Amino acid sequence: MDIKNPLSHTFYDLYPLHKSIKRELEEKFSAIIDRSQFILGQELENFEQEFADFIGVKYCIGVNSGLDALIISLKALGIEHGDEVIVPGFTFFATWLAVVNVGAIPVPIDVRPEDANIDPQKIVERISPKTKAIIAVHLYGNPADMPAILEIARRFSLFVVEDNAQAVGASILGQKTGSFGHINATSFYPTKNLGALGDGGAITTNDALLAEKCRKMRNYGSISKYKHEMLGFNSRLDELQAAFLRIKLKYLETHVTERRKLAAQLISVYNERLQNQLTFVRYSSEAAPHILSCLDTKGILSSYELPSHYPYCINDFHELLGIAKSYLPVAEKFARFQVSLPFYLGIISEA
């Protein structure tokens, strides 16, 4: 690409990354065909251990999407009909949908203007006797304020779930996101920081009991064949995806460092070209930038066909259920003015 004109470029392209590891992926694909075991095998077991080590937790359970990782995590915590779960007022639909899918009510909290993450100062006023958990989303790859969230959760005896779908590789004072909550969910959707070649997700936790429940729940409530000990789903991360993820995991730390450098470089190019008229979210030095996000309040990007992550806030979803609106001025502002700029590994070196 022409670094001086990044806006002329396609929004997202996964090919440069995959081109660099194509041989390894192909060899693995071939080895798996030779072995012909596709579900709950050695690749998954190895990936789960390696990803748990990467995040710095004892247990990882591979599942088939980030949404399932959230649903299974909430179910393992015993969240059910009538419970309330605190969520950020601005996030991808899946965070909200997981809560609704287990029968609970999502209670949205406004987000911080600097990074669109949940504002811990606004949580306490929305805690009720029905509140059971807080879901913290690390939006765009920026860690939410976990120390503050954990402190509130401790004070009110609430569970904490991290939605780490967008921030794999991010840290807070050296501790990886996905290791702070009682149980945490991530997505391996192909565009994510650690993306599969299809759908995938994982749960990470240090709690042996929660891990065992999740392991059963992802496989028809069973860990030994035809012995169904609870209700469950078919939500397994398959061998092929686990094998591909193991290859990509080896490069993840390097890729996250590249993402940090690239985000800083592109933000300065965009600012120069567009006379600082965009307000970029603040990427912390330990973020794992996933989406290059800004507010375009002047509409200067309106002639470019760029996506928004996201053109809605939780109030819009609540309208679907007939739930009263919450006061979410910052979330509403993001929903109205947020724009994502072209950003992916290989964007600069590409011809």
Q: Give the x/- contact pattern for ligand PLP in 192-221, rule: CB under 6 A.
A: -------x-x--------------------
Residue among 136 and 243 whose Cβ is closer to ligand PLP: 136
Of 184 and 187, nearer to ligand PLP (C-beta) is 187
67 binds ligand PLP (CB under 6 A): yes
Distance separating alpha carbons of residues 246 and 251, to the nearest angstrom: 9
Q: Pairing mode, if any, of strands 279-280 and 175-176? A: unpaired
Does 163 participate in binding ligand PLP (rule CB under 6 A)? yes
Distance CA 348, CA 259 (A): 12
User: Which of 87, 94, 99, 168 is the binder for ligand PLP (CB under 6 A)?
Assistant: 94
Q: Please, what is the minimum distance in Å from the beta carbon of residue 201 to ligand PLP?
A: 5
Start-to-end CA distance of the chain, whole Å, equals 6
Q: Residue 66, interface with ligand PLP (CB under 6 A)?
A: yes
Nearest to 257 by CA among 175, 167, 169: 169
Q: CA-to-CA distance for 330 and 114, rounded, in angstroms?
A: 10
SS3 content of the chain, % helix, strand, coil (to 5): 40, 15, 45
Task: Please state, in angstroms and rounded to a whole number, the distance separating the CA atoms of residues 329 and 337.
Answer: 12
Which residue of 52, 165, 287, 314 would you call a contact of ligand PLP, by CB under 6 A?
A: 165
Per-residue burial over 122-143, b if 16 or more Cβ lie within 10 Å, else e, is: bbeeebeeebbbbbbbbbbbbb
Instruction: Give min distance, CB of 95 to ligand PLP, in A.
Output: 5
Q: How many of the other CB atoms lie within 10 Å of CB of 31?
A: 11
Residue from the set 61, 116, 137, 242 that interacts with ligand PLP by CB under 6 A: 137
Are 185 and 70 in contact by the 8 Å Cβ rule? The answer is yes
Q: How far is the CB of 31 from ligand PLP (least distance, A)?
A: 26
Taking contact as CB under 6 A, which single stretch among the options 18-26, 64-72, 113-121, 246-254 is the one that binds ligand PLP?
A: 64-72
Question: Is residue 291 near ligand PLP by the rule CB under 6 A?
Answer: no
Q: Assess 140 for contact with ligand PLP (CB under 6 A).
A: no
Give 109 or 165: the residue with its C-beta nearer to ligand PLP: 165
Distance between CA atoms of 275 and 315, rounded to whole angstroms?
33
Distance, CA of 244 to CA of 234 (rounded, Å): 21
Of the candidates 73, 91, 219, 338, which one interacts with ligand PLP according to CB under 6 A?
A: 91
CB of 94 to ligand PLP, least distance (A): 4
**Distance from C-alpha of 208 to C-alpha of 165, rounded to nearest angstrom:** 22
Q: Per CB under 6 A, does 283 bind ligand PLP?
A: no
Asked if 177 interacts with ligand PLP (CB under 6 A), we say no
When asked if residue 189 is in the footprint of ligand PLP (CB under 6 A), the reply is yes
The continuous run of DSSP H or E covering 299 comes out as none
Shortest distance, position 67 Cβ to ligand PLP, whole Å:
4
The residue among 11 and 229 lying less far from ligand PLP, judged by its C-beta, is 11
Closest residue to ligand PLP: CB criterion: 66
User: Could you say which of 6, 62, 65, 332 contacts ligand PLP (CB under 6 A)?
Assistant: 65
DSSP character for 46? H
Compute the C-alpha angle 45/209/68, nearest 5°. 60
Nearer CB in complex with ligand PLP: 65/171:
65
Rule CB under 6 A: say whether 111 interacts with ligand PLP: no
Binding site for ligand PLP (CB under 6 A): 65-67, 91-92, 94-95, 137, 163, 165-166, 187, 189, 199, 201
